[in-house]
Structure 1
Amino acid sequence: LVKEKEYRKMRLHQEVFERPFLEATREYFRQEASRLLQECTISLYMEKVLQRRDEEDLRSRKFLHASSYSKVRSEFEKIMIADYLAAIHNQCPTMVEQNQYEDLRNAYELLKSIPGSLTVLVSLFKEHIKQEGLQTVTNLSGDRIFVQFVEGMFSFHSKYKEIIKTVFSNDQLFSSALDRACAEVVNHPLNTGQDSKSHPELLARYCDSILKKATKACGTSTKSTEVDDKLTQCITVFKYIDDKDVFQNFYSLLLATRLIHQRSRSMDAEEAMINRLKLACGFEFTNKLHQMLTDMSVSSDLNNKFNLLNKDRIELGLDFSINVLKTGAWPRQVCPTDFAVPQELEKSIQEFEDFYSLQFNGRKLTWLYHLSCGELKLKFKEKCYFITMGTFQMAMLLAFQKTDSLTCGELMEATKLNSDQFKKTVQSLVNAKLLAVTGDNVEVFPASTVISLNMDYSNKRTKFRINNSAKKEQTVQETEMTHSFVNVDRKHDLQATIVRIMKARKTLKHTDLIREVLSLTKDRFVPSVSMIKTNIEILIAKEYLERTSNSMAEYSYVA
């Protein structure tokens, strides 16, 4: 009885008051909207509409029954906003291009209440971000391209993230637009004039500049908090990169250099960065990187045991330290030339091999002399110098202990280096002015050319390092080799993925197979459809797959 009474009251309210009230309200809103558009710009119109909306909400709650709130609001949004969407949308490009943030905030507040009406604004916003981003990362120049790219990209991303927070209330539509725009910018091809470096390589080199000692190129502070902030920047950019396998290969190469030559800022920072990559891509992505850190820790323990064992047993005559690198985890595991170990090192090497065979029965050591280095003491004019150099350079200088000059043929015979490595090594020592070449041609070294010690050598510094003269050339070669290795790895990954899918599905149509391959490989790289097709054909030739009798566009797994 009570419910029926309440129902009758509501019917009376709706018929006697609400219906004519809403009709009068509609007419009022139409006249108000028309008047405002005639008197105001779109910017002022949006401001007035928001103000009127708040006033109407306040009046509705003060004078109307609760059931009428949403109806009045709905009429307001339909007449004052939905009926004039075209006018607001037409003004959106100007708001976005001229960074009219107050107008954008007002437009967002109005449009979000109308289903689907934000699409135009989101699309314009995304395209604007993309164009500004492309201006940020294209036409980079100078020696600090990697710094310009990463820090410019992060600054640009942070700017629009803050705009989305303050203007669009962290709306997911705009956040997704930012992500899509940044992904297009980061994966946009670089200009050919930029030293042929890809964006993943630039990011890897920026990480290297942060994580190694003496990072003057980036102006990185030694404070761990600042290092941590810059590593966070790296991960922000990394998440948008499609070719994560390219980044992985370059990062692995540069990490190996830092660890082997003891140039890492700290092992804690190295581990922190690898853990960030693990969170972003999973354990498999960072498995080899973790193994590299483990190898360095194990090598430290081995050195301590080896030195402790030989402390009272034998005198090696020098400080000897090794790093044992596990096959498969480290890049550059092949020595590029034969090499005759200097007599001064033979005893230490033999002692360590005997020690290692006792510790790990059955394991074989392959010495990577091209990655090794040492400190050599030289004395010129009663002044001593302590010079850190590569093993090849050290072997060449040690050949001059009993003579002041040798021919290139004699030096090559003593070191057993091939012609390419011999030329690079001699050139680096000539450039450092430790050796002198007889004759005018100091770039070509025939067997008869005489190389002699520079007995007039002088340097203000008594302790320094000699770099390889072909470092830049070596970097270019490493870049080319790394991209070559990536292409081979991708081929194997694609074939393994296709076989895994087909083994589970048995029969699959071509389009479905392409879609599943793209889904499974997207975390490491995004292969082209033509690349997937090529590897499908290879697997058909290898008789892993075959086309079904029903259709040429359908495959079956061959058990």
Structure 2
Amino acid sequence: MASPLLLDKKHQARQQFDDKWPGMKPTVVKILKQLGVSTVEWQDLFWDVHKVTLWDEKGVLKIFEALKCVVSEYIKAVKQIIMKENDDSVLLKTYVMEWTKFFAQCPYISKPFKSLESHSAQNNSGKADAVKVTESVSVKKLMLDTWNEIIFSNINHKLQSSAMKLVYEERIGESFDPQLVIGVRESYVNLCYNEADKLRIYCDNFEKAYLEATRHFYISIASQYLDDNGVEKYMDYAHSKIIEEEERALRYLETSKECNSCHLLSEVCVKSLVSDVKVSILEDCPGFIAANQTDKLLKMFHLVDRVANGVEPMITHLEDHVIATGLMEMMDAAATITTDSEKYVERLLMLYRRYSVLVKEAFDDDPRFLTARDKSFKKVINDTTIFNLDLSTNNKSSSKTAPESKCPELLANFCDMLLRKSVFSKKLTSDEIEAKLKEVLLVLKYVDNKDVFMRYHKAHLTRRLILDCSTDSDLEENMVEWLRDVGMPADYINKLARMFQDIKVSEDLNQEFKDINKMRSTMTDNISIKILNAGAWARSSERVAVSLPPTLEDLIPEVEEFYRGKHSGRKLQWIHLMSNGVLTFVSELGKYDIEVTTFQMAVLFAWNERRNDKLSFHDLRLATELPESELRRTLWSLIAFPKLKRQILLCEPAVQSSKELHENSSFCVNHNFAIIKSGKVQKRGKVNFIGRLQLSTEKHREEDNEAIVALRILRIQEGIVRIMKMRKTISNAQLHTELVEILKNMFIPQKKMIKEQIELLIDHKYMKRDENNINKFIYLA
């Protein structure tokens, strides 16, 4: 049986609501209709709601239901006003106006009834569904949901269709009031009260419709415009339309942080205007690159770069162009560049600058295109089509190697031209020489077989230091440091540095020898002895036999005696191959100083006591004791020196190459030898017969090749063992990859050579194959 007190409270709550609502309703209607509400009416509405909410929850719910009826009646009346309009533009205008008024009043209606929500929350504190009850009496949610139910759900598609028509009209150049579309968009955004998914209604409806309308608009005209106007005009059109649509999206789409409508719109435009016609656009790319039309390439790049991986075909076209044109130009100039290292390097640098400018102007120095330039330029430099260097030797123990580019040899030759006293270097200042050396280093970074460059550079450096023909000693030492800076291995660089130290020590020893022996020999002042460390200079142990002039032969014991007094236990080895001197040659026309190698000196001294005699090849071989190959090369340098119009020796019968010299070839001194300048005979002068003559034998060259291959083998073995020691277990593919990464600063190891060294290390128990997988290796400690 219910308590009398409880029954009285229920009756009082019902009476309280019935008494107060008739006075509250007119004020609510005025607020909805934006009519004037007095201060008393406004305050009474707050007070009446508060009184009702003092009682139990049913009183609260009664006010809520009554309020819902009032809002529904108002919205139904608004619906009649909106739906009577047939014109799309007028319909939108009416809807936007009524929605704006309604949404503006939502906060005002909510304020007096705020106590409904707080009262519900208090009564439900501690209950699991407290939040749900609070939401169920939210006045703002009530108003939005009612609008959605009565108007929006019935007019949604018509609103979207009308808004998209207006946007279409704007796209084709017609004018309209943009606030109509903006107002519709705002209604979609604000209709959803759920804070966790506030943009759900907007995304599911307005955004979706806008994106679809945009896609449909451009997909129908893109291909046709391209066919009618060509790629160049289409790129301008597509770019302008994408920018235009992105600007339009900022007006008509939601731009809040939690919304990505603008990004989605951009993707739709890119797909319709670029992706779908990308193949047709890119067909003109090779032609633009070939014609160096950087402005058109830049437009194409910016356009297709909007597509994921869109520039990949452009990168491929650039690589193909660099390789094709680079190799073609090198082949066209092959006759020159294969014999002139200066023209070769200049040609490479010209190509590099051209492609760098192309990448800068056409692709904004984009890292992907810079990488493509480097990759393709590297192929041009390391190509073996025009000329190649064969490191294979007759040594059966050496691994057979594939031909390599001769580029490093030509680069080393060019460096030698710059660093050696020559006609070329004399035309340049120190700053110009330094700039050109750094350009060589730029090219060198693309060379695969850098170890070959180091071998040739060291050989040239050896000659310059021994012949005292360096342009600038500071530049020589700077070059060593620059090589260190570009990543050359420390052991190579340290040996070069030790060569300079040896020369300085040798100068001190030479001066001391002169001071001690000046009283004993008149030749002492005219002799410069270089005592060098074999470990740093790394010359072959081969000694070429030669019969020296008596004056030099008599000096050798004196030098050896002096050195033994300074360093006991050390052995001197005379390398006549690397020696040189100056002779005074007197002809019937003048007196000339000639710089010659020791071998040339030995040949010329054969006529010292018999100037008018003719000597055969056989006679000279007996007199000089030179090997036949060296004698042929030395004689050829004296009978066919390219810079002289009159040769110092004459040969009968005349020959066209050193290979035509035979046992019965006859040689004599040319008594009419002279230096001719501007058609006039000079009575005095100086001639350098050493020139570009290599200070090495054919056997030395073979030994150098063997040394390069042998060192590569050791480097590969060292790298494999280091990787295996660190990894313990590794696949064959990964081992190859890591090994190339370790060795790439000096050379790119060939797969065949790697395979051979793996087998060798397996045989020597450094590693083994996995029993279950032959492509996996295991380190053996």
Task: State the alpha-carbon separation in 1 of the partners of residues 729 and 254 from structure 2.
Answer: 63
Does residue 330 of structure 1 match 2:537?
yes
Q: Does 1:494 align with 2:716?
A: yes
AA in 2 matched with 1:490: R
Please report the TM-score for the alignment, with normalisation by the length of structure 2. 0.62
Tell me, yes or no, if structure 1 residue 444 matches structure 2 residue 662.
yes
Q: After alignment, is 57-66 or 377-386 more displaced?
A: 57-66
SS at match of 2:735: helix
Alpha-carbon distance in structure 2 between the residues aligned to 1:235 and 1:340: 42
Deviations 1:343-373 (A, max 9, x none): 3124543443344344444332211111111
1:254 is paired with a residue whose SS is helix
Residues 56-86 of structure 1, C-alpha deviations (whole Å, 9 max, x = no match): 4555567876436545434433332233323
- The residue number in structure 2 matching 1:52 is 241
Alignment of 1:94-105 (within 5 A): 94-105=287-298
Alignment of 1:354-503 (within 5 A): 354-381=561-588, 383-398=590-605, 400-404=607-611, 405=613, 415-425=624-634, 428-429=637-638, 434=648, 443-445=661-663, 459=675, 460-461=681-682, 462-465=684-687, 467=689, 471=693, 481-503=703-725
Query: Are 2:754 and 1:532 equivalent residues in the alignment?
Result: yes
CA distance in 2, matches of 1:438, 1:102: 66
Paired residues of 2:591 and 2:685 also in contact (CA < 8 A)? no
Contact 2:650 2:667 in 1 (8 A): yes
Please give the alpha-carbon distance, in whole angstroms, between the structure 2 residues aligned to 1:531 and 1:98.
43
Matched, 1:164 2:359: yes
1:424–1:332 distance in 2 versus 1, CA, 3 Å: same
TM-score computed with the length of structure 1 as normaliser: 0.83
How is 1:84-95 mapped onto 2 (pairs within 5 angstroms)?
84-95=277-288
Letter in 2 for 1:235: L
CA pair 45-479 structure 1, distance change in 2 beyond 3 A: farther
Deviates more, 1:61-70 or 1:516-525: 61-70
The answer to whether 1:289 aligns with 2:289 is: no
Equivalent position of 2:465 in the other structure: 259
Q: CA deviation at 1:224?
A: 2.4
Task: Tell me if the contact between 2:223 and 2:277 (Cα under 8 Å) persists in the aligned partners.
Answer: no
More deviation in 523-532 or 81-90? Answer: 81-90
Cα deviation, 1:526-551, whole Å, max 9, x if unaligned, reads 22222212222333444544445555
2:416 to 205, 208, 217: 208
Q: Which has the larger radius of gyration?
A: 2
Do residues 141 (structure 1) and 330 (structure 2) align?
Answer: no
Which is bigger in relative contact order (C-alpha 8 A, separation at least 6)? 1
Q: How does 1:130-279 map to 2 (within 5 A)?
A: 130-139=323-332, 140-142=334-336, 144-191=339-386, 198-216=406-424, 221-279=427-485
Inter-partner Cα distance in structure 2 for 1:451 and 1:28: 93
Kindly provide the CA deviation profile for residues 400-456 of structure 1, in whole angstroms up to 9, marking residues without a partner as x. Answer: 55554597777656644344444544565566855677999993347xx99765556
Provide the rounded CA distance (Å) in 1 between the counterparts of 2:335 and 2:589.
Answer: 46
- Say if 1:527 and 1:437 are closer, same or farther in 2 by CA, change over 3 A: closer
Picking from 292, 300, 310, the partner of 1:117 is: 310
**Conserved 8 A contact 2:451-2:747:** yes
Gaps of 5+ in 2: 1-106, 108-137, 145-185, 192-198, 391-402, 641-645, 676-680
- Structure 1 partner of 2:231: 42
User: Does residue 128 of structure 1 match 2:334?
Assistant: no
Tell me the percent identity: 28
Structure 2 residue aligned with 1:12: 190
Alignment partners' CA distance in 2, 1:548 and 1:24: 61
For the structure 1 residues 23 and 488, does the alpha-carbon distance in structure 2 shift closer, same or farther, using more than 3 Å as the test?
closer
Structure 1: give runs of 5+ residues left out of the alignment. Answer: none
Q: How many residue pairs end up in the alignment?
A: 551
Paired with 1:79 and 1:543, the residues of 2 have a C-alpha distance of 63
* Structure 1 residues 389 and 126, CA gap change in structure 2 (3 angstroms): same
State which drifts further: 537-546 or 521-530: 537-546
Instruction: Between 196-205 and 149-158, report the one with greater CA deviation.
Output: 196-205
CA contact (8 A) 1:424 1:468 kept: no
- Does the aligned pair in 2 maintain the 1:333–1:368 contact within 8 Å? no
1-structure distance, mates of 2:627, 2:375 = 51
Q: 1:250 to 1:317 in 2, by over 3 A?
A: closer
Deviation at 1:232, TM superposition (A): 2.5
